[in-house]
Amino acid sequence: MDNFAARGRFGVAERKKAKRRILCIAVALSGLLQFGLRRPRSRAAATATTVGRHDARRRAANGSRVIAPPKIRRHWELYLLILPPVLYLIIFKYVPMFGVQIAFKDFNVVQGIWGSPWAGLKHFEAFFQSPNFRLIIRNTIVISFYSLVAGFPVPILLALALNEIRNGLFKKSVQMITYAPHFISTVVMVSIVILMLTPHVGVVDRLYSLFGKDMTNFMGIPEYFKSIYVWSGVWQEMGYASIIYMAALASVDPALYEAAKMDGAPRWRKIVHIDLPSLIPITVILLILNLGNIMNVGFEKIFLMQNPLNLSSSEVISTYVYKVGLVGANFSFSTAVGLFNSVVNLVLLIAVNFFARKASETSLW
């Protein structure tokens, strides 16, 4: 009897322990199903989630403040480097375009740009009907083309010649002599030209007198003005303009010269078949840019070289705009003339670039 009661109590205790074990196992299984058996996330997904949480916290901390894109933050030094030229273009090139509208108005300083009455194309018609229109356009185009034809090939020839020089001291001396005139100011350059050509005092006039010729006032003869202007500019700029061609020649593969030498090619063959083809891309780009500025003749030099005797050959658009606009205070008329000049240059640039793209693979865009 006692043994039976003891076995009964033992059975009840065992059942209670079994129930507790089953309950613990069920709780453990439910925890595993909830946390341990979920699909594990990839490292990228975890990183993205972490970054998203950080961005959310940063946005919440910054409020409405604008945050720079990741690329700008990563390369901020490069964007800071390009900022000054961009600001220069915006401030000095694009903002002044606001004043172009006075070409279509009768501008009055008191009324301002907005208050001045509209005049339409009156100032353009006045310029086209002006007795000086043909003279100014002819002088501008002739001087520009003359400068391009005479000055464009000279830096290329100088670069080719310097590239063939093997004596380092002589090469550096020629480069220094040809580069130096570029750094002379325009006022000093014009003074040198005038002093050299002045009658009775100038070097050129003295040489003329040695050969028994009469003294000549070269700066007072209209037929001589264009040549004096163009060739003095060629002398001043040919060395500095040859630098970009020298850089293009320096990038030519030396193996091409070695192969040409092994084939027995003379120097002029190397120039024709190696040097000139390597200069074609940069030559086309510079030619397009120069033709796009064919209506722009430098104001300072030509204005300083002008005098009443050579005015029929030296009056160009830039000097005419200065005299009419600033000296004569006719701002609307001068703006119309300047706008006409800019539009012509833009059309020429687009046309030349179009033909260059059709004729070769090199173009601005």
Task: Please give the pLDDT value at position 18.
Answer: 59
The sign of the dihedral angle between the CA atoms of 115, 116, 120, 124 is: negative
Q: Are 112 and 106 in contact (CB under 8 A)?
A: no
Q: How many residues does the chain have?
A: 365
Two structure tokens written together for 326: 């600033």
Beta bridge partner(s), residue 112: 108
The structural domains of the chain, ordered by start, are: 2-62 (no CATH), 121-359 (1.10.3720.10)
Two structure tokens written together for 154: 């000279």
Residues whose CB is less than 8 angstroms from the CB of residue 302 and which lie 6 or more positions away in sequence, other chains included? 143, 229, 314, 316, 318, 319
Two structure tokens written together for 64: 């409405």
d(C-alpha 293, C-alpha 348), whole Å: 8
DSSP string, 290-308: HHHTTT---HHHHHHH--T
Per-residue pLDDT of the chain (365 residues; tens, 9 = 90+): 444 444 444 455 566 665 566 655 655 555 544 444 444 444 544 444 554 555 555 555 555 455 567 777 888 888 899 999 999 999 998 998 888 899 999 988 888 888 889 998 999 999 999 888 999 999 999 999 999 999 999 999 999 999 888 888 898 999 999 999 999 999 999 999 999 988 877 888 888 878 877 778 888 899 999 999 999 999 999 999 999 999 999 888 889 888 988 888 888 888 888 999 999 989 989 988 888 888 888 889 999 999 999 999 999 999 998 998 888 888 899 899 989 988 988 898 888 888 888 887 777 77
As a three-state string, the secondary structure of 10-70 is HHHHHHHHHHHHHHHHHHHHHHHHHHHCCCCCCHHHHHHHHHHHHHHHHHHHHCCCCCCCH
What's the predicted TM-score (pTM) here?
A: 0.74
Residues whose CB is less than 8 angstroms from the CB of residue 353 and which lie 6 or more positions away in sequence, other chains included? 288, 292, 363, 364, 365
Task: Please give the pLDDT value at position 303.
Answer: 93
Q: Are 225 and 142 in contact (CB under 8 A)?
A: no
